[in-house]
Amino acid sequence: MELVVARIGRAHGIKGEVTVEVRTDEPELRLSPGAVLRTEPASAGPLTIETGRVHSGRLMLRFAGVKDRTGAEALRNILLIADVDPAELPEEEDEYYDHQLMDLDVVLEDGTEVGRITEISHLPSQDLFIVERPDGTEVMIPFVGEIVAEIDLEEQRCVITPPPGLIDGAEIVSARDNGAEAGEDA
C-alpha cells in the first residue's frame, strides 16, 4: 500500500537541501537516510534520502544526486510516497493508520448501526471520523476516548458512545432565539 509521507518544500542553502512538510506520524521510520521513496509526479523519482536533520523545527532532507540549489528547487511541491505493508500496525497500541479505519462500520454499544467511516479529517485539536449514515447523510464523530469506545479491526467495526445530540440530529436553539419568541407572544 502506498502512503504520502511528505511534501517537498523550499530549497535550503546551496548544497541541495530542501525543507519537508511531514505527513506521517512516524518520520523517523519513513524519512530516514537510505529510504527510497516514490514520487508524485512519478517522473521526479524515485528519490533516495541521503541525509536528514531538523533545523529551526523543520525537517531538512538531501536526496542522492541533488547537489545544488537548482536541483533542490526543481523538487518543490513533489509528494513523497512510501510503500507500507497493509498489515503493519503503528508502534503505539491505540494508534491506527487511516487506511485501517476507512470503511469500518460504526455502531452504538447496543449494536445499533450508525454508518460507515468514509473519511478521516485531521484537525489541530483532534481527528474526526466522517461517517456516512444509511440514509446517505453524514455525521462527524470526534476520534476521542470519551466517544470512541472500541476499534475492532478484526470485526471491522468502531463502537461509539456519543453524547446526546451528536448523532440524533437534535436541533440546537439558542437562548436568544427563545427570548425573541417569548417577546413576540406577549
The answer, as to whether pTM is greater than 0.75, is: no
- Torsion, CA 96, CA 97, CA 100, CA 102, rounded to 10: 110
For residues 22 and 138, give the distance between their C-alpha atoms in angstroms, rounded to a whole number. 29
Would the pLDDT of 182 be above 70?
Answer: no
Tens digits of per-residue pLDDT, 2-56? Answer: 878 889 999 999 999 999 988 777 777 788 899 999 999 988 889 999 999 998 8
Q: Amino acid identity, residue 92?
A: E
Tell me, what's the pLDDT at 89? Answer: 67
66 contacts 78 by C-beta, under 8 angstroms: no
Tens digits of per-residue pLDDT, 110-169? Answer: 988 999 999 888 777 788 899 999 998 999 999 998 999 999 988 999 999 998 888 875
Would the pLDDT of 99 be above 70?
Answer: yes
E strands in the chain: 2-12, 17-22, 36-40, 47-55, 58-63, 79-83, 105-108, 113-122, 127-132, 138-142, 148-152, 157-160
- Percent of the chain predicted with pLDDT > 70: 87
Tens digits of per-residue pLDDT, 158-180? Answer: 999 998 888 875 333 334 444 44
Tell me, what's the pLDDT at 132? Answer: 93
For residues 129 and 113, give the distance between their C-alpha atoms in angstroms, rounded to a whole number. 15
Tell me, what's the pLDDT at 169? Answer: 55
Tell me, what's the pLDDT at 170? Answer: 37
